[in-house]
Structure 1
Amino acid sequence: MHSPSNDATATTLGRRGLLGLGAGVLGALSLGDRALAGPAASARPSGYPFTLGVASGEPRPDSVVIWTRLASEPLADDGFGGMPARDFASKWQVAEDERFSVVVRAGAARTGPEVGHSVHVEVDGLRPNREYWYRFRLGTELSPVGRTRTAPDPAQSIASMSFAFASCQSFGQGWFTPYEHMVQDDPDVVLFLGDYIYCQPAGPVAYPGSPVASRILAPPRRCETLGDFRARYATYKTDPHLQEAHRLLPWSVTIDDNEIENDLWNDPDPAAVERRRAGYQAYWENMPLSPAQRPVGATMPGSFRRLRYGTLATFHMIDSRQFRTQPPTAVCAPEERPDGYCPDVLNPASSILGDEQEAWLLDGLSSSGTTWNVLGNQIAFTQRDADGRLLPPEERDLGGGWDRYVADRQTILDHLVADDIRNLVIVTGDSHRNWVLDTPRDYRTWDATVPPVCTEFMVTSITSGGERNPDPRYAPQKSTPHLLYRDQSHGYGLTRLTPAEMRTDYRAVSTIWAPTSTVDTISSWVVHPDRPGASRA
């Protein structure tokens, strides 16, 4: 713990912030401001370098990651954002107040073209459960001022906390209006559950004459190279609502498939490996992730990790893409079983998490010691229907979800039952709809009198799918007694946790085809930590 009086004069990068940095960077940091006088630091971009804003993420009791990416021409087709092909040293500060009268941490971080001129600083020595303000400086240019908040001490008993969860934002299909309301709701943390960008050139071409035709992607083609991916992220980050949500709220992010390739898996083909290398690199460069999470080749370390909020909640952020085996087919009409499954999806050799991550998750669910376990999950976990053949085609295989890996899912469900874990709630992205599902303990058993083992809240898209009617569907059917709710609005989930209950509100915006919107809570649900299953609030 550091006192404000001592921290105000400190010029230091936190211990974690040094991870992954080269010897030249360490030498520059040890010299303080004198190191900023060299040629790399004195060179200046041709315009304002902080066009992509600032962000924070990975809140811990004593640390948080702060991020920016230098780009004077953010949509430059080569992906370098108009920056010269040289290193720059950006100063940074973290303070207890918005005016920066009490600076508690400060330092300098060197960046260059090999990381897309992104800056990732994991600032430690902070106080738990406290609001902080941060900013960057390059020469005489100051970044926007960001706000963030650390997590409570793991032993601290807290009365409540809130989180928002969201997924699936297609830049060309609408303005990101849900974020203007998420900022006003002011959650403690945002869980983004995948499809932050779309590598495909999805856009208003599917909606001739739509008012979002001005939202043009860079590059105007499928992303193939690292430069393409960098330009695509820069396009998305020009959205003002997204920038504000990053500036004012800490995020924890997880990757799905469309950031790299539709239906992504651990494909050993050399072309697929090279695509993952470029996609993971660009993803890390543009997210508030730590230096230690910088990709190594075609892998990204630390993709599954935990956040803890006192004794109230443990968030298990998983990676269902990087380690999965080849997805078996989910549509096989001649071979379909009576329950609608293809035989291949029942193969116990198929894995969605990989052995290491699965063991990590099971152990963490049993040992968290918190009132709530929350699983941050990219793709549909709970089986849709007792007879999969009854589902409409668009719902047969939501996002290549856990229905393709039935054995892995059953391992988790069996573990919940064996260890009497009743406090798990799953929050999921990908489907472009809101769903509330009570998860049965066994995919072969659909007895509505048997209590569920957990509840899954799937969240709709920010914009993906384009403007549409909400189309709410409330009534469970005979073959879906566990399916409590569904709608196809656009928006996000907002959850408030207390020791007694979890309340989840589905927040729906009035439009994504205008730069601003109104918002309504269209459905609310409550779960209790000792009794799996959701009920209407």
Structure 2
Amino acid sequence: MSVPSQTISRRHLLQLGGVGAATLALGISAPETAIARSAPSSAEGLFGLGVASGAPGPDSAVLWTRLAPEPLAEDGHGGMPLHAYSVHWEVATDAAFVDVVRKGHALAQPDLAHAVHPKVTGLSPGTEYYYRFRSGERYSPVGRFRTLPGPGALAERFTFGVVSCQAWYHGHFTAYKHLAADPELDLMVFTGDCIYEYGITSANLWRHGASVTAAHAAEVQTLEQYRLRYALFKSDPHLQALHARVPAVVIWDDHEVQNNYVAGTSAYGLEDDLFEHRVAVAYRAFYENLPLDLDALPHGPTGDITTGFDVGALARFTLLDTRQHRDPVPTSPEDQHAEDRTMLGAEQEAWVTERLTRSPAVWNVLASGVVLTAITENRTDQWDGYPAARRRLLDAMARSRNTVVVTGDIHHAVAAELRADFDDPTSANVGVELICTSVASDGDGAPTHGYAPDWLQHDYVKLYDGRRGYLTVSLAPDQMTSTFVIVPWIEADDTAPRQVLARFTTPARQPRLDRA
């Protein structure tokens, strides 16, 4: 499919961006009697993009895989013929699958790039499970997940990783190698930029030893191109190992569609009708390639990734969409400071406020696509461009307790205390923001650069570093421990060691960052 040169009708747009109800249902659950082919025994590497789990609950999880014996086939179908194929799945309490507790059947169909998203229910809270898929005689790798604690249960500890910005072509995913080896990890939170839409050429292919075909040199615009780009990034073995190790929850930022886009508007002047088509197919590919629940399936150019879940009584997670509902970039200081400007949209803002102010949890975790901390007013793509909306969110945090914002986007590791009023040096803290650096975007990076003074001029910014890595956050009833991890290099190879850059503790009910 290529981007049409003429105006696209709304009906055609929805056909391009949507999926029929029957197709969708069979991709989640299908009766054993459903007529479909089994993968041929000759299909080596049928599960070439690995397995994943997501949407964790105390008694459920969504499983994911995509049949792709040739992940980088340039038509975006992963080397699969355009037919439906039977996929069986099973969940067990042991890695040998002696004690199988749930099993089912789905259809991998070309309309969804041969991806399946079965939802497993009826599981026990706080329990470790193993899962795998089978089509024909071929089995997938084995994945693992742990269900969340039951409602009201106060876990002693819950540890999650925070990652973002994985420009595959800028370097190796060494961060994922180390994160997947963390024995304490319960969950991965991805805060945006799962892919990048830019063409990959000799100018930006910094990952030593890697090569791509000419098909990757074009900027991504079509459904086939988005599918191919996800396949390229997800072909990385360290990312596949992390997905198999723990459940993942994911939000998007801008590069899943186009750099700095705002709602349905391109930042580069693409006509609205054509850009709506691009958003529709980008959101479709996002759903196809990630372990998302049904609510995340887009309807044309509209998608809903906002969701939340509770880790018993210990933590409430709220995943934000800071891209799709925001007002346009301000055109003047008066516009920027208008009281009615919104980052989240009225409906999402009300939902987040209610989740915060009515939360019974010890900790409240918000996952945001862009930085909340006040830095400089010329950073209008971040919450600095939406100060009234930020103030309303900070007010809600002040009426809540123990709020932690985890963010990505800027390719730097930052730890900051969030003040009720950033313009008042005596203002009380209402939460903390932990910003993970990129996994690969911008290559090896460096401890500092020319933008550092913008950040370090503020006494509430406690850390700033521009090397690659990730963040882990460990929640306990009495305190939170946040650990920033870096890897010294990523361009040359994936052998760089894990180095702890900084560790902070935050006592419960005392929103500050104490450097350990």
**TM over 0.5, yes or no?**
yes
Look up the match of 2:296: 293
More off after superposition, 475-484 vs 237-246: 475-484
Structure 1 pair 211/377, CA: closer, same or farther in 2 (3 Å)?
closer
> Alignment partner for residue 357 of structure 2, among 359, 366, 371?
366
1:489 and 2:467 are equivalent in the alignment: yes
| Distance apart, 1:47 and its partner CA | 3.8
Contact 1:173/1:204, CA 8 A, preserved across alignment: no
1:460-513 Cα deviation digits (max 9, x unpaired) = 000101113333999999951211110111100011111111010101112212
C-alpha distance after superposition, 1:409-466 (max 9, x if no partner): 111112333x2x2311111100100111111212432x1x332211111110001011
Alignment match of 2:311 (pick from 303, 309, 312): 309
Distance 1:203 1:404, change over 3 A: farther
TM superposition shift of 1:41: 3.8
Amino acid at match of 1:532: P
Give the total of aligned pairs. Answer: 488
Per the alignment, residue 436 of structure 2 pairs with: 459
Report the 3-state secondary structure (helix = DSSP H, G, I; strand = E; otherwise coil) of the residue aligned with 1:40.
Answer: coil
Which deviations, in whole Å up to 9, do the C-alpha atoms of 1:162-209 show, x marking residues without a partner? 0100100101100100011101114110000000100112565147xx
Aligned to 2:216, the other structure's residue is in SS state: coil
What SS does the corresponding residue of 1:466 show, helix, strand or coil? coil
Identity %: 35
Is 2:350 the partner of 1:356?
no
What's the CA shift for 1:21? 5.5
Q: Deviations over 1:280-304 (max 9, x none)?
A: 0000000000234211111123x11
Q: Which residue of the partner structure matches residue 216 of structure 1? A: 212
CA gap 1:531/1:320 in 2 versus in 1, 3 angstroms: same
Superposed displacement of residue 28, structure 1: 11
Residues 47 and 154 of structure 1: is their aligned pair in 2 closer, same or farther, counting only changes over 3 Å? same
Q: Over the residues paired in the alignment, what is the CA RMSD in angstroms?
A: 2.5
CA offsets 1:194-239 (integer angstroms, 9 cap, x no match):
00100112565147xx552624375221101000000000001111
Q: Does the aligned pair in 2 maintain the 1:204–1:213 contact within 8 Å?
A: no
Counterparts of 2:233 and 2:401 in 1: how far apart (Å)?
Answer: 39
Q: Corresponding residue for 2:101?
A: 104
The alpha-carbon distance between structure 1 residues 63 and 39, as it changes in their structure 2 partners (threshold 3 A), is closer
Match of 1:441 in 2: 420
Which among 103, 113, 127 is matched to residue 116 of structure 1? 113
Q: Could you tell me whether the CA contact under 8 Å between 1:267 and 1:326 is conserved in 2?
A: no
- Uncovered stretches (5+) of structure 1, i.e. residues with no partner: 1-18, 333-341, 389-395
For residue 506 of structure 2, what is the amino acid of its counterpart?
Answer: V
The code of the aligned residue for 1:402 comes to W
- Asked if residue 94 in structure 1 is aligned to residue 96 in structure 2, the reply is no
1:185 aligned counterpart, secondary structure: coil
Counterparts in 2 of 1:458 and 1:214: CA distance versus 1, 3 Å: same
Mapping 1:6-405, distance limit 5 Å: 22=22, 31-32=31-32, 34-35=33-34, 38=35, 40-41=37-38, 46-186=43-183, 187-202=185-200, 205-206=203-204, 210=206, 212=208, 214-216=210-212, 219-267=216-264, 269-301=272-304, 303-329=305-331, 342-385=333-376, 388=377, 396-397=378-379, 400-405=381-386
2:490 to 512, 516, 519: 512
Match 1:415 to one of 387, 391, 396: 396
- Partners of 2:362 and 2:407 in 1: CA distance: 20
Residues 474 and 485, structure 1, Cα contact 8 Å, conserved in 2: no
**Greater Cα shift, 228-237 or 146-155:** 146-155
Is the Cα–Cα contact under 8 Å of residues 263 and 323 in structure 2 kept in the other structure? yes
Asked if the contact 1:173–1:203 (Cα under 8 Å) also holds between the matched residues in 2, the reply is: no
Distance 1:306 1:126 in 2: 19
Structure-1-length-normalised TM-score: 0.86
1:414 alignment partner, SS class? helix
Structure-1 residue corresponding to 2:14: none
- 1:146-176: CA deviation from partner (whole Å, max 9, x where unpaired): 1111111121111111010010010110010
The alpha-carbon deviation at position 39 of structure 1 amounts to: 5.0
Secondary structure at 1:460 match in 2: coil
**Partners of 2:403 and 2:431 within 8 A in 1:** yes
Q: Which of 431, 441, 450 is the equivalent residue of 2:427? A: 450
State the alpha-carbon separation in 2 of the partners of residues 41 and 478 from structure 1. Answer: 58
Write the distance in 2 (CA, Å) between the matches of 1:478 and 1:136: 49
State the distance in 2 between where 1:95 and 1:40 align: 26
> Is the 1:96–1:104 Cα contact (8 Å) retained in structure 2?
yes
Distance 1:29-1:316 versus aligned 2 partners, 3 A rule: closer
- 1:173–1:204 CA distance, 2 compared to 1 (3 A): farther
Note if contact 2:277-2:301 (Cα within 8 Å) is conserved in structure 1. Answer: yes
For residue 45 of structure 1, report the CA deviation from its aligned partner.
Answer: 7.6
